[in-house]
Amino acid sequence: KNEVEQSPQNLTAQEGEFITINCSYSVGISALHWLQQHPGGGIVSLFMLSSGKKKHGRLIATINIQEKHSSLHITASHPRDSAVYICAVRSMYSGGGADGLTFGKGTHLIIQP
Amino acid sequence: DVKVTQSSRYLVKRTGEKVFLECVQDMDHENMFWYRQDPGLGLRLIYFSYDVKMKEKGDIPEGYSVSREKKERFSLILESASTNQTSMYLCASSSPLGLDSPLHFGNGTRLTVT
């Protein structure tokens, strides 16, 4: 089974800081998702990537397939970025859940004004 | 924009009751999923469906069933609710454009079973 580890579990930072959230996995994957969950529950898909780097506004996601590692960066962080960030991977072979996905437990980010 | 709508944000039910959680998506997606989310455990897949009238067990199907009579609607049924089914339930949908199309989630239903 693919093991997905996120770090840190909790992160509190000041507004404006550069934020990095990490995700590592144990088995080869075909794709990695970064999701954002705001207080209240709704989840939004931020990125889906299988190689390289993607950027959307102040968010940047990178993946290193050889090292089995992905990072989510937030530049010029803002209190509205406060949320839980979840990494999910689709294993290349068997190793995920019944739908092929394995979810990390999430990183709880708080940005203080 | 894809919209996935779950019928209730908060629900309180008694032990033994039959509970229906409804999910509707408006983007003609083939794939629909039901997850539950518990502190420290992350998202776990209960059931999913790749087409109308099709259903597949996820990782934790015990105590649950599902119904997909129409493409846009995927219902999760707790036949006899128990306190260990108190959780946040999230519905999601995706298109069949390869296995790695983005997931679109609803806002979740926080179910409390007393």
Is the pLDDT at B103 greater than 80, yes or no?
yes
Tell me what the mean pLDDT of segment B99-114 comes to.
88
Chain centroid to Cα B55, Å, comes to 12
Name chain A contacts of B58, Cβ cutoff 8 Å.
Answer: 97-99
Q: State the average pLDDT over residues B24-42.
A: 92
**Burial classification of residue A30, based on how many CB atoms lie within 10 Å of its CB (0-12 exposed, 13-18 middle, 19 or more buried):** middle
Query: What's the pLDDT at B2?
Result: 66
Mean pLDDT calculated for residue range A7-27: 96
Question: Across chain A, which distance is largest between two alpha carbons, in Å?
Answer: 44
pLDDT score of A43: 92
Measure the CA–CA gap between A49 and A29, rounded to whole angstroms.
10
Q: Is any Cβ of chain B less than 8 angstroms from the Cβ of A83?
A: no
pLDDT in tens, B44-88: 999 999 889 999 999 899 999 999 999 999 999 999 999 999 999
Q: Inspect the interface and report whether the beta carbons of A44 and B108 lie closer than 8 Å.
A: no
Q: Would you tell me how many other CB atoms lie within 10 Å of the CB of residue A1?
A: 11
Q: What is the DSSP letter of B86?
A: -
Nearest residue in B to A32, CA atom: B100
- Judged against a pLDDT cut of 70, whether residue A87 lies above it is answered with yes
d(CA B114, CA B109): 16
Residue of B96, B72, B78 lying closest to B17 (CA atoms) = B78
| B99 in A contact zone (CB under 8 Å) | yes
pLDDT over 70 (residue B40):
yes
